[in-house]
Amino acid sequence: MRVLLIAGGWSSEREVSLSGARQIEAALKRLGHRVTFFDPSFEFAGLIPAARAQDFAFLNLHGQPGEDGLIQALLERAGCPYQGSGPTSSFLALNKAAAKCVFEAANIPTPRWELTAGKPVSGRPIALPLPVFVKPNMGGSSVGMSLVRDEQDLLPALEQVFGMGEAALVEEYLPGVELTCGVLGERPLPLVLIRPRAGEFFDYRSKYAAGGAEEVCPAPVDAALTEEVQLLALAAHESLGLYCYSRADFMVREGRPYLLEVNTLPGMTPTSLLPQAAQAAGLSFDDLVAELIRIGLERPR
């Protein structure tokens, strides 16, 4: 099959995207597919004709474009099937504030939050008490994210996000155990427990540096908590209208899981969490890629 591998893009997560694409390309070739690489940063105007010449598109983009649904919308115009969620669901999941609105409407527990888009003329910029996380509303991989414990650090953290051209999502800090749960098709994967080795949270360095965090899969937590997190991951996947696969991140405080966010194009680097969970479920990396293609081809037109 002719596969258009779409990766790179112009977000702050470009290098992560390219790193995963190298592993995906090797797997696609081992599976017998002919691969054409496409980087929207340099070839954007040619996406529709390039997609029309292929049998399938495999996306490995993070942030914008890709997780915002733009590339998916163009692929649908081209009539080219692809893996992952559609344009609307992708946008809802990437926009953290919008996703939290959906989670709350579905009674899925999530930390308290505020959205702020600019420096206030006077007064304190947020109502939430410290400590809080400050992060770009449409970003990923913890780029631009800060843990703010002191009032004097709040405005600089917000200005860092505003300087990226983003609105800031301010989120209640919940100390506890971090778990992530992948969904593949209609079934949850084994949980992964995350313990950063440096720093106070799972930041960019912890996520992508070799040995940056201890990641244990299956997570050594009791069966009741495992089932609860898996059911919440499925509920989040369904509430956003996602398709094919996703990965939901949780913080567990005093035995209760809180949903942080859902990723619609989970990382596919050698250190990424979803491939680890798939491996624990008996799927090699090649098996995972093949399954994503199979589900993508079954998407109702």
d(CA 169, CA 61): 22
Can 261 be counted among the known catalytic residues? yes
Can 299 be counted among the known catalytic residues? no
Residue 169 three-state SS: strand
d(CA 37, CA 49): 14
188 HSE (CA, 13 A, CB side): 21
- Whole-angstrom CA distances from 169 to 135, 161, 172 are 5, 9, 10
Q: Which two tokens stand for residue 168?
A: 């800031």
The residue from 13, 39, 67, 178 that is catalytic is: 13
Can 296 be counted among the known catalytic residues? no
Contacts of 156 (CB under 8 A, 6+ apart): none
The residue from 25, 171, 178, 249 that is catalytic is: 249
Residue 290, burial from CB neighbour count under 10 angstroms (0-12, 13-18, 19+): middle
d(CA 195, CA 203): 11
Can 82 be counted among the known catalytic residues? no
- Whole-angstrom CA distances from 158 to 120, 124, 125, 238, 276 are 11, 12, 9, 32, 34
The residue from 247, 258, 272, 296 that is catalytic is: 247
Can 247 be counted among the known catalytic residues? yes
Can 253 be counted among the known catalytic residues? no
Other beta carbons within 10 angstroms of residue 119's beta carbon come to 10
Can 267 be counted among the known catalytic residues? yes
The residue from 82, 208, 245, 258 that is catalytic is: 208
d(CA 248, CA 198): 22
The residue from 137, 261, 272, 296 that is catalytic is: 261
Other beta carbons within 10 angstroms of residue 130's beta carbon come to 14
d(CA 115, CA 136): 10
Can 249 be counted among the known catalytic residues? yes
Please give the positions annotated as active site. 13, 141, 208, 247, 249, 261, 263, 267
